[in-house]
Structure 1
């Protein structure tokens, strides 16, 4: 079993790099942010400030610096602002992990056209921007 706070690579090959991980507050996104902790890590989230701070604290405990950035990735202007914030606060993004995603928490039969459209936007379209 992998420990919750696996140490970053000991050689620190990402030192001096900036990694932006979207959807970085839980699950695979949080694990990816921890794995990249030999870089400076930007924890991307959408209105999940407490979880983002927890994820950032975990990255910092592993010896990395970082910030948290909130953005609605379905809004192209917000994406640009997020990248500008990361660039101005910690430097240009060298590593981008498009991990953000969501799905309707309902049965297939209950999923209407609006929910389907939202799922496509969040899980497919935002990664194109």
Structure 2
């Protein structure tokens, strides 16, 4: 698949100073987009990512700070992107916290943080991006989910994360339906275990975690200006993993 031409478009990837978000953002930079590196606390890493984006071919690059769970902060970070690069044409909702412990050991503050970061962050950023997308008659939104949300994984560990990612996928489908006449597509990519994960199960499908490139190619498919009839879809990137109760 040829890489899409994203020149003339402004891309915002939340949580793009490090890890998966950084690699997704750099991929859009290589397609000629103007890129906004979002961070919450990792300012130095964000500046390095912006410099790397410029080297990869971004038409422009900036950094924006904000808490995606706070409406005022989200408005501020979008306003900063608009002032530097113009309105957001492409939004990738990547930020997501998790809590790898038995659900009965998780306090309410942790439970709430996981749901707020994954679900509320996706909602707030999408809501802030949509008015300009609708006005322009064009937009691409990709949400990062989790493979288990489509396969019914039942686990007492990481409970709020599974609940949150199921919510993200439902939000994806509902928003896709609501924007079908606006030139906007809304899709999701849902990995299982990615190469930057802190822990790896013993029975990884195909003997390895997902590489960044495994996520990048389907994300770029969804972001392609020529992929305007594909919306409301979730692509699981898990090597054929079939979960059982864990």
TM-score range, shorter chain: 0.7 to 0.9
**How big is the alpha-carbon RMSD for the aligned residues of Structure 1 and Structure 2?**
1.6
Q: Which residue of 1 aligns with 2:49?
A: 55
TM-score by length of 1: 0.85
- Alpha-carbon distance in 1 for matches of 2:74, 2:91: 13
Q: Which residue of 2 aligns with 1:113?
A: 108
Q: Which residue of 1 aligns with 2:173?
A: none
1:42-96 deviation per Cα after TM superposition (whole angstroms, max 9, x unaligned):
0011021011011111111112121010001111011011111100111111001
Moved over 6 A (4+): none
Uncovered stretches (5+) of structure 1, i.e. residues with no partner: 1-7
Q: Which residue of 2 aligns with 1:14?
A: 6
1:103 aligns with 2:95: no
- Alpha-carbon distance in 2 for matches of 1:101, 1:107: 16
SS of corresponding position for 1:72: coil
- Alpha-carbon distance in 2 for matches of 1:66, 1:95: 14
Instruction: For CA contacts below 8 A with separation 6 or more, give which structure has more relative contact order.
Output: 1
Q: Which residue of 2 aligns with 1:5?
A: none
- Alpha-carbon distance in 2 for matches of 1:103, 1:56: 26
SS of corresponding position for 1:36: helix
- Alpha-carbon distance in 2 for matches of 1:14, 1:63: 11
SS of corresponding position for 2:35: strand
- Alpha-carbon distance in 1 for matches of 2:21, 2:89: 17
SS of corresponding position for 2:83: helix
What is the aligned residue count?
A: 119
Q: CA deviation at 1:107?
A: 2.1
- Alpha-carbon distance in 1 for matches of 2:111, 2:7: 40
TM-score by length of 2: 0.46
